[in-house]
Chain A
Amino acid sequence: MNDLIQNIAISFIMVLILIGALLSLVSTIGLLRLPDVYTRTHAASKASTLGVMMMMFGAFLYFWIVKGHFNAELFLAVLFIFITAPVGAHLITRSAYYYGVEPSKSTSHDDLKETNVDQS
């Protein structure tokens, strides 16, 4: 019975780590194929954050269930990535916008530009 639970847990961990690696791959493909900075930051921040979080959570569960060692630092790292990676993407995108990086040609509407014109 205990072996069965452990096997189910290990399969779950394998699925977690595989999906995490796959999401990181998807984020890399998005980084290569998308047209401008903003869409690239969108792909890089979202997909790779979730991928890294899933891989870290899989490693955390592996050490907890299989090795019997509750590693609080890995859990904290998941939380930390979850908080910091979107903030980093936001700062990169915003500084790119203020630096004057043009969005791609197929952009139809830019609300931020209009508000900035209104203020100044």
Chain B
Amino acid sequence: MRKQDNDVILRSMTLVIFFIILTFSFALFFGGHYTPGGGFVGGLMTAAALILIIIAYDMKTLKEAVSIDFKKLLNVGLIFAIGMPFVSMLFGKNFFQHFHTYIDIPVFGKTSLHTAVLFDLGVYLIVVSVTLIIILTIGENE
């Protein structure tokens, strides 16, 4: 068995496909209120795009490209998911009661801004960071 050292095709295709997967995961995340998708699926797809970089390059490249400590990102996601219910208590609503407004944004037209997105952002960050923590800790233990 020979060492495989020439990964030109895989690496250059990864550069193209990484952005397609990332864009699609953002589309899934932001379309989660009206279409199938949401924080969990979007987070898993973002994690899959980052894992593709680990497969094609290595973990050092991922750490140079995305210089985020995923344990801290997990904490940020948990703060979003826990903080959103208390924010709705601050505005005189019940615990965990969502509320929304309609705002005219120039490009998108009439857009509904909903506090469920903040909770979903927490789910997204937690899923991304938990998946990558699992993969990175298993992969580094050589």
Measured CB to CB, the residues of A under 8 A from B are 73, 76, 79-80, 83-84, 87, 90-91, 94-95, 98-100, 116
A99, B1: Cβ atoms closer than 8 Å: yes
10 pairs, A vs B, C-beta closer than 8 Å: A76-B20, A76-B24, A79-B20, A80-B20, A83-B13, A90-B9, A98-B2, A98-B4, A100-B1, A116-B2
A-B contact count (CB 8 A): 26
- 5 nearest A-B residue pairs (beta carbon): A87-B13, A98-B2, A98-B4, A99-B1, A90-B9
Interface residues of B in 33-61 (CB under 8 A from A): none
Which residues B5-44 have CB closer than 8 A to chain A?
9-10, 13, 16-17, 20, 24, 27
Measured CB to CB, the nearest residue on chain A to B2 is: A98
Write out the residue numbers on chain B whose beta carbons fall within 8 Å of the beta carbon of A100. Answer: 1
**Closest CB of chain A to B45's CB: distance in Å?**
12
Contacts of B20 in A (CB 8 A): 76, 79-80
